[in-house]
Amino acid sequence: MIDTDNYEISTTDWNGITLEIRWQPEWISYDDGTGFAHLEVESIPYGTPIPVSETGYKSHFVHSEAVNRLGGPLNYVEAWLAQAARSPKWQQADMARRQLALF
C-alpha cells in the first residue's frame, strides 16, 4: 500500500542553497515485508540547480536501510550532494552560477 502522507520535512543549507528535504521511510510496503522509502529534495527558491537536479527538484526511491546507515535523510542527502558535486559538469555550472554578470 502506498502512503503519501506522513512525510518528515526538514530544511537545511547546502553550500548557500536552502533545501527542503521530505522523507517517507515506508512509502510502499509489500506483503513479503519489503518496500521502498521516498525521498524528495527541493531547492528554495524553487528552480535553483543542485548537483542531483538541474531543476532543483529530485524524487528518489530508496530502501530505508540505505538512508539509516548514513544517519538519516539529512546525512544521506548531504553525502549524495557531496558525491554529485565532484562532477565536472556540476563544478562548471556552479562556477557560472556564482559569477557576477557584467551585462
pLDDT in tens, 47-62: 999 999 999 999 999 9
The better pLDDT of the pair 3, 94 is held by 94
Sign of CA dihedral 2, 10, 59, 42: positive
Distance, CA of 88 to CA of 6 (rounded, Å): 37
Distance from the first to the final alpha carbon of the chain: 53
Tally of structural domains, the chain: 1
Q: Which domain holds residue 12?
A: 8-98
Q: Which of 17-21, 27-31, 65-69, 83-87 has the lowest mean pLDDT?
A: 27-31
Decide if 89 is inside a domain. Answer: yes
Decide if 2 is inside a domain. Answer: no
Decide if 28 is inside a domain. Answer: yes
**Mean pLDDT, the chain, whole residue set:** 89
Decide if 1 is inside a domain. Answer: no
Decide if 51 is inside a domain. Answer: yes
How many residues does this entry show for the chain? 103
pTM for this structure? 0.84
